[in-house]
């Protein structure tokens, strides 16, 4: 981890993963998804709005690169869980994002994708939201970063990096890097 320039005096930004590390993690998770599901038949990749969308798209591209696009066409969707959160009164209401799940999920092997797993509340909301789209045979969870601090009994199936953090720290994940922002007290 290294300090990044541009940090304000009250915060410290630390680089956790660079672009090459993010790419390797995506490739590894893609291989794990293929292996665990014994191929791609029935697999549906669903990115959670907002942070999971780019990661889901990158995972689909990596899986298609590994398996070839003609093997079993991957179904991809996007899910906004804003209205299903149990902490909606504690958080600012954000404008709704696109939900696009193009098929009925009955019998599918759904892989939910998000950038950071923290308390587990977003994933719980996603599980509630999925009920509108059918009854999957299984639901798996892929995340780039697992921070710990779970408030619910939710555990990811695929993890790019386990990153123990403090509750007052922020993790920022992009396709180029993962950074940790710490508040510095003087």
CATH code of the domain containing 158: 3.40.50.2020
pLDDT digits (tens, 9 = 90+) for 131-175: 999 999 999 999 999 999 999 999 999 999 999 999 889 999 999
Count of domains forming the chain: 1
pLDDT digits (tens, 9 = 90+) for 83-141: 887 777 776 666 678 899 999 999 999 999 999 999 999 999 999 999 999 999 999 99
Confidence (pLDDT) at 70: 66
CA atoms within 13 A on the CB side of 111: 30
- Give all strands (DSSP E) within the chain, no chain letters: 2-3, 11-17, 43-48, 75-79, 109-117, 138-146, 158-162, 170-173, 178-183
Domain span holding position 139: 2-183
58 has a pLDDT exceeding 90: yes
Radius of gyration of the CA atoms of the chain, in A: 17
């Amino acid at each position: 981890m290294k300090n990044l320039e541009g940090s304000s005096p009250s915060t410290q930004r630390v680089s956790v993963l660079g672009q090459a590390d993010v790419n390797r993690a995506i490739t590894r998770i893609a291989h794990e998804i293929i292996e665990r599901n014994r191929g791609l038949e029935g697999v549906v990749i669903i990115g959670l709005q907002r942070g999971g969308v780019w990661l889901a798209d990158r995972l689909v591209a990596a899986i298609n690169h590994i398996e070839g696009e003609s093997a079993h066409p991957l179904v991809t969707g996007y899910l906004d869980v804003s209205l299903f959160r149990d902490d909606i009164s504690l958080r600012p209401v954000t404008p709704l994002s696109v939900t696009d799940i193009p098929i009925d999920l009955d019998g599918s092997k759904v892989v939910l994708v998000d950038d950071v797993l923290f308390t587990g509340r977003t994933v719980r909301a996603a599980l509630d939201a999925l009920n509108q789209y059918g009854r999957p045979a299984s639901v798996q969870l892929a995340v780039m970063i697992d921070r710990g601090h779970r408030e619910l009994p939710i555990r990811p199936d695929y993890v790019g990096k386990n990153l123990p953090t403090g509750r007052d720290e922020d993790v920022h994940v992009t396709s180029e890097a993962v950074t940790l922002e710490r508040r510095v007290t003087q």
